Amino acid sequence: MTRAIVLPRIGTATAWRDAARGLLAEGVPPEEVCWGDDTATAGLFDTHTAPSSKRQVSVPRSFISMAETVVWHSDPQRFARLYEFLWRLQSAPWLMTDRGDAGLAKLRALEKNVRRCQHKMKAFVRFREIGDPKAPRRSFAAWFEPTHHTVEPTAQFFRRRFGDMDWRILTPDVSAYCTDGVLSFDLDQPKPDLPSDAHEDLWVTYFRNIFNPARLKVQAMQSEMPKKYWKNMPEAAAIAELIATAPARARAMAEAAPTLPPARAAQAQAMQSRNVSAWAHPAEDLPAAIRACTRCPLHECATQAVPGEGPPDADLMIVGEQPGDLEDLQGRPFVGPAGQLFDASAQAVGLDRSQLYLTNAVKHFKFTPRGKRRIHQRPNTSEIDHCKWWLHAELREVSPKLVVAMGATAALALTGDGKALSTRRGTVENGSDGVPVLITYHPSYILRLTDAVRREQVLQQFRADLSLAADIVSIEATTP
Amino acid sequence: MTKLTLERKLAILSEAAKYDASCASSGSTKRDSRGGKSIGSNEGSGICHAYAPDGRCISLLKILMTNFCIYDCSYCVNRVSSNVPRARFSVDEVVQLTIDFYRRNYIEGLFLSSGIIRSPDATMQDMVQIARKLREEENFRGYIHLKTIPDAAPELIAEAGRLADRLSINVELPTDASVERFAPEKRPAQIREAMANVRVQKEVAKDRSHTGKRPPKFAPAGQSTQMIIGADGSNDATVLGQSTRLYSSYKLKRVYYSAFSPIPDSTDKLPLISPPLQREHRLYQADWLLRFYGFGLEEITSVTPDGNLDLQIDPKLAWALAHRGLFPLDVNRASKELLLRVPGFGVKTVSRILTTRRHRHLRYEDLVRIGASMKKARAFITAGGWSPAGLTDSADLRARFAPPPQQLSLL
């Protein structure tokens, strides 16, 4: 016996689900069901309501969400295809993840059609104002001709979007109305005569002028905005003319001779030069000069040069390797993880950061991009040499009693000696500028150590070195 | 001077805005106006409300607040030395136009940019005021993209970030030297500092306070930038090198490549060419390979000796043809990383292959149903019922994909 199941055009998704659940519970195979919607002429068979049964049927969640989209397709076979696949799913629940299965591939294709149709509806519906623009709730209406039965599933989108106005979208199939935030639907509306709307002309003006006649890509436009939608879009009327005149307009631009600048230009440029002096860095010359540095190629990749920071009469100067990711972004030295470790260690031995002059041997961040991260790279000798110029200038300005060189790069820049740190740390060497240099580890070296015991040991040595530096310059401990 | 009509202003100021490629409206916070007191929504995915015959989508009302500008950037239609007609919108005109277009479902929101008038701060102030009125007086919940002015005061940028979904600052050209040459008033270092500032503020806005309260979101759809292609002599390796640095340094959502296009009333400093659209397309493809397919910069740009991408075939195919030793791959065994390198397989195709092959052995027909582009892929893979045999190493493989050589026009 064949059963004919007729589904309504409004509320189709729920109706199909109820019907399918009932049939499945009763064990009716797909070949015994004949599906249709209420536009189809009365079938050859008697109409049946789907049986309702208490038996539980379990269906993968992914199937339900697919089915809730596919039911809106215009393909008359959609209900049957869904039920047939659902039937197969009962004995093979893994089928939903078998993307090579012909039945699933077809349903997924239908689903894609409906989703695209919904998306195009969200994009191409064009409202006209039908009420008083001064009314507390304004009202708008649109005539639209969707390819599939997409009005009902898409209406919620419009309700979410246009919360403070009333609207209606009329179509030859299902029409949607939203009044005071409440949705309703009805069927088979004739095309209304909507009043003209002055904003449509403004919109067409915008469309004509945002188009660049020098780059004509008609195919690209048409694949995204198929011609079938054009008749209800006011801007589409301009397309033919825009395409036809584009080559001539592009040629005219190319052939036009350059003109002389208007009189206004000189005046504007004068205004501009006033602005420049207003943006210049007001600080002493050195930090500004460092920020403007282009001595080596590192400046092209980094955000900014990071000059030293601290009182210009500091007794102790701390020199690291180079700014890291955060220092580069913020323009201040020692603000990243290594800076935090330094701050904590300095505080532990009674050094006050605000009394120290902190800087780096190289002023720009050197890195290689890896995806969304920047990986630190050690500066090479030539970059260190170029930047020595700035380090020496800072040394001259501050003239500290002692410099602490953290890490091999700083040691090389300050002493000219690039030998390994392990034998040198904790000792004071003669700097090439005549200032004594205390050699120690760089805090980021400590952060990179994975062996906890070794890490603790190196951290103790680092603290001891800072403590020694404090003793040498005998800065008053400023612990709170 | 006669007063311009709104329509004439709109014509002038949209004409002036069209050289900005970005029109994205995706990836912001989810919000809607169901409460009945506001207007607008944002659901994550962007919507293109129309397409112009130049193939570009129209998602936002993309306009300049004014095209008066005191800068003199050679590539720009609005530079001070150009004789194009000028106009200026008032704050209310932009606000009303945005809302009226939005209510008619023409747009997703506003993309506001501006020429520099008086001073960078004064210009930025007006732009921020437009965004503030839209959000606070019109209760607008749609999308706002503000083009920030690099040398505007940090407080203005901070407020712009709280009101807008996306901020952008254009790096303009691929190298610092070209920026200095063609945009004499712009400083590349300052542009980078402004982008760094946006990234830092965005990250600060993610931290909860000690009470667990979140600060207001800062530019939830991120920041983007644009580079003009073909105005200077930079090759594609330079362009892509610049964009990988920008992505990693400032966590940009997108770098837009814009083929240098003829503009009305151009200068003699930049001879007009027909826009290198194919090159622009290849750069976008390469950009995707770098971000979503695990390719390294070197791999893509080392295929050709001059560091430019092959214009006739896509960069993935060009890479595969240069590394045929790796192919054919067995789709039933190859790793995800390698499958992503097969020409004709996209990210979706690969994930479908991986889930399906857990159940069974994949055949050629399965791949067709999965949605792979087999015309390209078949030379590089083996599957049930398919082996490319000599095809992978055949001498004419490239010729099968490249468009036929065109005879030069006699005129």
Sign of the alpha-carbon torsion through A335, A338, A339, A341: positive
Interchain pair A164, B48: CB under 8 A: no
Domain count of chain B? 2
Partner B contacted by A237 (CB < 8 A): no
Class of domain A285-473: alpha beta
Q: What is the domain-level CATH number for residue B193?
A: 3.20.20.70
Angle made by CA atoms A267, A269, A271, in degrees to the nearest 5: 75
Could you tell me if B71 and B214 lie in one domain? yes
Q: pLDDT by residue for chain A (480 residues), tens digit each?
A: 688 999 999 999 999 999 999 999 889 999 999 998 776 554 444 555 556 666 678 889 999 999 999 999 999 999 999 999 999 999 998 899 998 899 999 999 999 999 999 999 999 999 999 999 999 999 999 999 999 999 999 999 999 999 999 999 999 999 999 999 999 999 988 999 999 999 999 999 999 999 999 999 999 999 999 999 999 999 999 999 999 999 999 888 888 877 778 877 877 766 665 444 333 333 467 888 888 888 788 888 899 999 999 998 899 999 999 999 999 999 999 999 999 999 999 999 989 999 999 999 999 999 999 888 899 999 998 889 888 888 888 888 888 999 999 999 999 999 988 888 888 999 999 888 788 999 999 999 999 999 999 999 999 999 999 999 999 887 444 433
Residue ending a domain, choose from B265, B284, B300 = B265
CB B344 within 8 A of CB B372: yes
The alpha-carbon radius of gyration of chain A (Å, integer) is: 37
Q: Report if residue B92 sits inside a domain.
A: yes
Using CB atoms, which residue from A128, A163, A258 is nearest to B39? A163
Q: Report if residue B73 sits inside a domain.
A: yes
Query: What's the gap in Å between the CA of B395 and the closest CA on chain A?
Result: 32
Could you tell me if B200 and B99 lie in one domain? yes
ipTM of the complex: 0.93
Could you tell me if B121 and B221 lie in one domain? yes
Could you tell me if B320 and B253 lie in one domain? no
Could you tell me if B340 and B232 lie in one domain? no
Task: Tell me the whole-structure pTM to 2 decimals.
Answer: 0.84
Residue ending a domain, choose from B204, B233, B265 = B265
Residue ending a domain, choose from B239, B265, B291 = B265
CB atoms within 10 A of CB B119: 19
Residues of chain A with CATH 3.40.470.10: 285-473
CB B129 within 8 A of CB A285: no
Q: Report if residue B297 sits inside a domain.
A: no
Interface test with B, best of A110, A164, A368 (most B CBs within 10 A): A164
Q: Report if residue B126 sits inside a domain.
A: yes
The helix (H) or strand (E) run that includes residue B292 is helix B277-292
Angle made by CA atoms B147, B150, B152, in degrees to the nearest 5: 95
Interface test with B, best of A156, A196, A203, A232 (most B CBs within 10 A): A203
Q: Report if residue B293 sits inside a domain.
A: no
Q: How far apart are CA A299 and CA A292, in angstroms?
A: 9
Could you tell me if B244 and B328 lie in one domain? no
Partner B contacted by A253 (CB < 8 A): yes
Q: Report if residue B279 sits inside a domain.
A: no
Could you tell me if B260 and B322 lie in one domain? no
Q: Report if residue B302 sits inside a domain.
A: no
Could you tell me if B222 and B335 lie in one domain? no
Domain holding B258, by residue range, is 6-265
Q: Report if residue B310 sits inside a domain.
A: no
